[in-house]
Amino acid sequence: MTAEIITIGDELLIGQIVDTNSAWIGKQLSLTGIKVHQISSISDDEKHILQALAEAEQRVDLVLITGGLGPTKDDITKKTLCKYFNTRLIIHEDILEKIKIFFDRRGFKMSEINVQQAALPENCTIIPNPVGTASGMWFEKNNTVFVSMPGIPHEMKRIMTDGVLPKLKKEFDLPVIIHRTVLTYGIIESELSDQLEDFEKNLPEGMKLAYLPSLERLRLRLSITGKNREKLEKLLDEQVSELKKYLGNKVFGFGDSSLQEAIGILLKKTGQTVATAESCTGGNIAHLITGVPGSSEYFKGSVVAYDNRIKQNVLNVNEQSLIKYGAVSKEVVEQMALGVQKLMKTDFAIATSGIAGPGGGTDEKPVGTTWIAVATPNGEVHAKKYVFGTQRQQNIRRASAVALNNLRKSLIVIE
């Protein structure tokens, strides 16, 4: 079964709203074994809607539509659907009753335009909306199913979960599609693709590998379609194990996780703690770590030492080292890591010192030059130099990710 998603609304086209509905629907359909062929965002315009419906009808078995079901004048989806399916709006008394209860419960007064929310096409199957006043509508035409839903994300999600997906599973014989995502860091896409040439060649029939890079992780997604879920899962599990063999400790997690979650899991396991001493990352590593719920269990704190005197006075960095080697140096970043480890009495510590840019670069130390150190419980400290790019925000993000990954590697060694 193939599907298309059509989201209706001028606000999507002018970029006032990011369309998150499509991604959510796409994921649900994929998990249900329905292949999404296309997603289209179109304007609140009758001609445009009619054309998009007709095109989709030619291409797929299922069309899911969101948006344009509100009570105001610019919402024209319902009228347009009547035209397309050659029907008319009638008041559905059972729905009207539900809308009345909906308003009563909230203590709101119901007005005439709210009554119109119960005016729905005569020849569709109503899919109830338990959390709002705009109902879902299920139509069938020339062997294609069309479902129209409101654009408000939490209403659309309830209609999908409670009504549309169960009905699809009941009425159609759907194949099984499964995905596994392996999260890696510390290797770039092109290098990885070289390394995985044999792996890719030997993938079982019908299994696909996709590379999804970002600054914070490189995701590898394996996908397969078939009928027997158990068999497919086994096939995928085997290939995930195989991937792990190729990639070793470059794999930091699975599914939708992050480096900071990975180090959280490792630190919790051993009951150990960490602190950060940040110069060029300016608190971003602490921010990432503390974004994880429960991080107070293993994260004690951070000293953001932007000014060199803070490096000296709070982190106990030697003044002579600052003068001799400069703030962006092996010596200083190591002392920063050891300093915060001692100050905060933690097992591990991360430190960063670099030139985030756009200013501050020299021939010897261009913008992007960054030293990153990890101090470990045995009193050792390891520092490494990196040269990132010229973009301040990206340098901060890259340095933070590398620092978290270096900590992760230290934690694995200990483990």
Closest distance to a second copy from the beta carbon of 13 (Å): 4
- HSE (side-chain half, CA atoms, 13 Å) at 267: 28
- 43 contributes a contact to a second copy by CB under 8 A: yes
- 384 contributes a contact to a second copy by CB under 8 A: no
Subset of residues 332 to 371 that bind a second copy, contact rule: CB under 8 A: 343-345, 356-359, 368
Subset of residues 46 to 105 that bind a second copy, contact rule: CB under 8 A: 48, 52, 55, 70-74, 105
Closest distance to a second copy from the beta carbon of 40 (Å): 5
Nearest alpha-carbon partner for 289 in 265, 315, 308: 265
Closest distance to a second copy from the beta carbon of 112 (Å): 8
Q: Which of 28, 135, 258, 329 binds a second copy (CB under 8 A)?
A: 28
Q: Which is nearer to a second copy, 121 or 357 (CB)?
A: 357
**How far is residue 187 from each of residues 21, 212, 250, 262, 321, measured CA to CA in Å?**
32, 13, 7, 17, 33
Dig out the tokens for 367 from the structure: 């913008």
Is the backbone of residue 107 left (phi > 0), alpha (psi -120 to 50) or beta?
left
Dig out the tokens for 349 from the structure: 């510590």
Q: Which is nearer to a second copy, 2 or 228 (CB)?
A: 2
Q: Which of 1, 13, 126, 414 binds a second copy (CB under 8 A)?
A: 13
- Give yes or no for a cis peptide into 358 (omega within 30° of 0): yes
- 393 contributes a contact to a second copy by CB under 8 A: yes
**How far is 265 from 26, CA to CA, in rounded Å?**
30
Contact (Cβ atoms closer than 8 angstroms) between residue 12 and residue 68 = no
Subset of residues 233 to 262 that bind a second copy, contact rule: CB under 8 A: none
Closest distance to a second copy from the beta carbon of 119 (Å): 14
Q: Which is nearer to a second copy, 256 or 380 (CB)?
A: 256
The Cα angle at residue 50 between residues 49 and 51, in degrees rounded to 5: 90
- 161 contributes a contact to a second copy by CB under 8 A: no
- 123 contributes a contact to a second copy by CB under 8 A: no
